[in-house]
Structure 1
């Protein structure tokens, strides 16, 4: 049921508002996933720094074979398929999937609600304020 006022998106059906809200929630969860990928990228970098230091210490303590294994096998290696580094994974997520879903969310918001964000929350806010004033 549409709400009668001039707020952008007020003419939307409940189903349209719910669909728009689900798109917004999907994008918000992707933003959380993005943050975890940034954390993954940084954690991987720190791990590699420790391995780099371990190589130096192993070499200094006479363990050339172990130091060589770190230098030749582990440090140059990617985290996916042996050639994609963590920054590659992060960039692919940002530039492809995240960008596509973000553009879709913006397009949906424009088509349904004149670009207005958080239409479902705005409806809830109006309802709670109405109730607080004692209106039915």
Structure 2
């Protein structure tokens, strides 16, 4: 969008713009958290692949007890234990944590942000930044 076509809702109060901005920052930070969860999921998967390889190598070296422990205790176990569960295999795997976050909290907050932006600013995102951009352009043209 060129500088001559910048749009922002003139009828928004500073407080409305601030509220929209805080909602947008919240959504953006949750997207960052999502990225960290994706990284956590990938790093956990790589770690488990290394441990899977270690199981075979330990067995080849005659350390069956350690290989069995990896096979039976750690590789099939989730990374986060279920509360109130005695089942060692009842834990949640990293993909499950990621999917739950994506499908529930993140999706709900993104939808909330879209509803707020739609209602308060007729769907125009980044109202605070648009106002700031417009103010800076106006100032540069005046001075």
Question: Does TM, scored on the shorter chain, surpass 0.5?
Answer: yes
- CA separation in 1, counterparts of 2:142 and 2:44? 55
Shift of 1:10: 1.8
TM-score by length of 1: 0.92
Give the corresponding residue for 1:39.
39
User: Is 2:8–2:131's contact at 8 Å kept on the other side of the alignment?
Assistant: no
Matching residue of 1:132:
140
Written as runs of structure 1 = structure 2, the 5 A alignment for 1:18-33 is: 18-33=18-33
Contact 1:113 1:119 in 2 (8 A): yes
Matched, 1:87 2:95: yes
- Structure 2 residue runs without a partner (length 5+): 1-6, 82-89
Contact (CA 8 Å) 2:51, 2:70: kept in 1 or not? yes
TM-score by length of 2: 0.88
Moved over 3 A (4+): none
- Aligned mates of 2:118, 2:50 — CA distance in 1: 48
> Once the two structures are superposed, what CA deviation does each residue of 1:70-124 show, in whole Å capped at 9, x if it has no partner?
0010000001115200000000100000000000000000000010010000000
User: Is residue 2:55 matched to residue 1:55?
Assistant: yes
Aligned length: 130
Residue of structure 1 in register with 2:4 after alignment: none
- The RMSD of aligned alpha carbons is 1.3
1:85, 1:14 → 2: CA distance?
44
Shift of 1:9: 2.2
Distance in structure 2 (CA, Å) of the matches to 1:130 and 1:90: 45
Structure 1 alignment gaps of length 5 or more: 1-6
